[in-house]
Amino acid sequence: MRKMMAVLPFVFVLVLMVGCAKPPQDAINAAMSAMDAAKPLASEYAAGSLQSAEDAKAALDAELKAQQDKFALFRSYKKADELVADLKAKSDKAAADAAAGQEQAKNDATTAITAATTALTDAKALLEKAPKGKGTAADLEAMKADLTAAESTINDANTAMSATKYKDAKAKADAAASSAANVVSQVQAAMAAKKVGKK
């Protein structure tokens, strides 16, 4: 009986310790803040990493709910501690990947705009040398219009760059370069046809 009475206080303390188990709220708040901070950029430049963070959040939410559904004396947040750390790590990675992805997109857009500008300049110069004669006026005007549109698209690409919309800027620059290349192909075909006609 005395042994049992001696053990009871320890059991009581143990029950109190377990019963007082609470979710690691400060750590959860920090992890959630990190995820929220990463979201805007990561959604565009690091979708895969953001998805990993969202999966980690879903796992944490499920674990917290599972513990909440338990009788208070049986709750344990040891696993939740691990899941919170995982969420924070993945949120930080999403932020880092997003920053790297944005920088890469910026470099890609800059390169594309430079290439499109060069292609437009070359196309304009070649168009000046295009064969002129009967029946070519309409074709020449159409090609000039294409190059004017391409120049406008490059201006739009530069505007997108200023607004840090790098993917949009690259897409516009690529479209302008494609238009310029198409004009070059048409002029070269006309030149080749003229040479054949002279023989």
Average pLDDT across each block of 10 residues of the chain; the chain has 199 residues. List them in order.
46 45 94 97 97 98 95 93 97 98 98 98 94 82 96 98 97 98 94 72
For residue 19, the model assigns a pLDDT of 47
The whole-angstrom separation of Cα 120 and Cα 141 is 16
For residue 136, the model assigns a pLDDT of 77
Find, among 195, 193, 179, 191, the residue nearest to 124 by Cα: 179
State which residues form the domain around 15. Answer: 9-101
For residue 195, the model assigns a pLDDT of 76
Based on the domain organization, do 76 and 131 belong to the same domain?
Answer: no
For residue 20, the model assigns a pLDDT of 55
Q: Does 2 fall in a domain?
A: no
Domain count, the chain: 2
For residue 94, the model assigns a pLDDT of 98
Tell which of 57, 84, 101 closes a domain.
101
| Start-to-end Cα distance in the chain | 122
For residue 12, the model assigns a pLDDT of 43
The whole-angstrom separation of Cα 145 and Cα 137 is 12
* Residue with tokens 């059991």, as numbered in its chain: 11
Q: Does 4 fall in a domain?
A: no
Based on the domain organization, do 13 and 97 belong to the same domain?
Answer: yes
pTM assigned to the model: 0.77
For residue 7, the model assigns a pLDDT of 43
Let me know: does 154 contact 176? Beta carbons within 8 Å.
Answer: yes
Based on the domain organization, do 50 and 132 belong to the same domain?
Answer: no
Based on the domain organization, do 86 and 132 belong to the same domain?
Answer: no
